[in-house]
Amino acid sequence: MENWHKEAIVYQIYPKSYSDTNGDGIGDIRGIINKLDYIKSLGVNTVWLSPCYPSPGDDNGYDISDYRGIAPEYGTLDDFKEMLDGMHSRGIRLLMDLVVNHTSDEHEWFVQSRKSRDNPYRDYYIWRDPVDGREPNEWVAAFGGSAWEYDELTGQYYLHLFSKKQPDLNWDNPKVRQEIADMVNYWLDMGVDGFRCDVINNISKDFTRPYAGGNGPRLHEFLHELHERALAPHKALTVGETWGLTPAQALELTSEARGELTMTFQFEHLLLGRVNGDKFDPEPLDKKAFVDILAKWENGLKDDSYPVLVMENHDQPRALSRFGDLKYPYESATMLAALLFGMRGVPFIYQGQELGLHDPTFNSLDEYRDIETINAYNELKASGRFSEQELLAKMQYGSRDCGRTPMPWDTSENGGFTSGTPWIKTQVDTGFTVEEQEKDENSVLNFYRSLLSTRKTEEALRDGEFKLLLNENDTSVYTRSADGSTVYVVCRFADSECPMPEIVPENATVLLNNYDSFEKTLLPYQALWLKA
């Protein structure tokens, strides 16, 4: 495993909502090609592209029907290669999305598999007999309902941890593992640099558990095998989407000696503001816990593992709406960026995050597109416990669609995203477009640019040791140190002032500041990177 991941700064593109060039209302690969100079200008050096493979679109491309193709609505394989060349010629690497816990039910393997019990593809998926005329166990799918779907034709149930149009692959079958390794090699041979691995710790199931999920007994074996067969020979970078791990489990998956994954996401801080992590059940944000959790992971992934720094992606509402303050949109969005991206690890920035976007407003259920949101709404409605207004407030708080509306490029209709009718509503707010922020020296966009360039030039900010010095009364201070140089990261996580903490050196050099002044008072949502 090469160490290039330590230098990576990743920009996530959700292709459906990035830029549409043919007026069908759906973003496309040519749209990404047109924006490559913009992407480069941010200071990122890696792109993670959410799935662009052929898909019936039950879960916006996370239900793949052909692992080796490009969805016609996004373009052709030639467009894809042109995009990849365009990235490489600008020094940008490409991570594709590897969705191999499940396929679409319209994938040829599943079409075959469901035909008969003795079809050669039967064991590509997980089929079980009914137990007492019912589902084989109590497992519930992530998008609601049982994780088992009965198939009349053969009288068995198949497992789907997500929607019933996303049957789970049977990784215990060696043929499945070889097919996946061959497919991974196909993209790596084409020049792709690595993968973000969708719900990857689910590929080995633990059927002894009462609730659905992964981290099963063969997880490490499967990942190591894929690493040997495809990833290692190409020095590919992988980042695992792994919910619910402890730092110790993450270390097991990523420590170099084991040869499994390069890195894993940690999302523990993204569960805050939600009762028991339920995204549709709001509670006030515990700001101290937010910083403490991040520090726990910084401390837990020392030595031969490198953390991932993330607060937004296509599954999350916008960070500004969740953790920031809409009365201080610039200050709180930039403070959150300085707080998170001052830490040791690979920054992941989701499209639109660099503009400090907040959630769009959804006025009714039919403005939503996400299967998870629609299913949750229907389930909660059927419970009879909530009024229509309460239901809509819940969806507004937690829906994945909050982060999926089109990128606002300019102040023209539909934000310059499309000349047609966008596939999902577009919200364009004054001051929150690329066009406006390009011109404004003090925009979130230009703050991200200075933040990223400072990170690259300061040794201590790259691999330097992390130490949390203070986290109380909505103020936090941590340091990053390497080779005798120390950077202090000082953040005010509140809409009020406070005295500058005494541990902050007075005569430090300001590397980054979201206000003009650095004095004896820390201003509302002020964030500073100081070099001692």
Measured between alpha carbons, how far is 126 from 446 in angstroms, rounded to an integer?
49
Residue 283 structure tokens: 């509670």
Residue 10 as a binder of ligand GLC (CB under 6 A): the answer is: no
**Any idea what DSSP says for residue 118?**
T
Q: What part of residues 26-85 is at the interface with ligand GLC (CB under 6 A)?
A: 59, 62
Q: How far is CA 462 from CA 8, 247, 458, 487, in A?
A: 10, 20, 7, 11
The 297-336 site mask, x for binding ligand GLC (CB under 6 A), equals -----------------xx---------------------
**Could you say which of 59, 198, 359, 401 is catalytic?**
198
For binding to Ca ion (CB under 5 A), which residues are involved?
20, 22, 24, 26, 28
| Nearest distance, CB of residue 56 and ligand GLC, angstroms | 13
Selection from ligand GLC, Ca ion, none that 401 binds (CB < 5 to 8 A by kind) is none
Which of residues 314 and 394 has its CB atom nearest to ligand GLC in the complex? 314
Sheet of strand 527-531, all strands in order from the earlier edge strand to the far edge: 465-472, 475-482, 485-492, 527-531, 509-513
Binding mask 466-485 for ligand GLC (x = CB under 6 A): --------------------
Q: Which does 260 bind (CB under 5 to 8 A by kind): Ca ion, ligand GLC, none?
A: none
Considering the candidates 73, 168, 225, 241, report the single residue annotated as catalytic. Answer: 241
Positive or negative, the CA dihedral 227, 183, 93, 402 is: negative
Among Ca ion, ligand GLC, none, what binds residue 20 when CB lies within 5 to 8 Å by partner kind? Answer: Ca ion
291, 439, 470, 479, 491 from 475: Cα distances, Å = 10, 32, 7, 14, 6
315 binds, among ligand GLC, Ca ion, none (CB under 5 to 8 A by kind): ligand GLC
CB of 141 to ligand GLC, least distance (A): 10
Token representation of residue 479: 């340091």
Q: Is 99 in the site for ligand GLC (CB under 6 A)?
A: yes
User: What would the DSSP string read from start to end of 21-54?
Assistant: SSSSSS--HHHHHHTHHHHHHHT--EEEEPP-S-
Question: How near is the Cβ of 414 to ligand GLC at its closest, in Å?
Answer: 24
Task: Determine the residue with CB nearest ligand GLC.
Answer: 62
For 229-242, give one letter per residue: b (16+ CB within 10 A) or e: bbbeebebbbbbbb
Active site residue 359: no
Amino acid in position 389:
Q
Q: Can 440 be counted among the known catalytic residues? A: no
199 forms part of the interface with ligand GLC (CB under 6 A): yes
Q: Are 296 and 468 in contact, with CB atoms under 8 Å apart?
A: no
Among all residues, which ones are annotated catalytic?
Answer: 198, 241
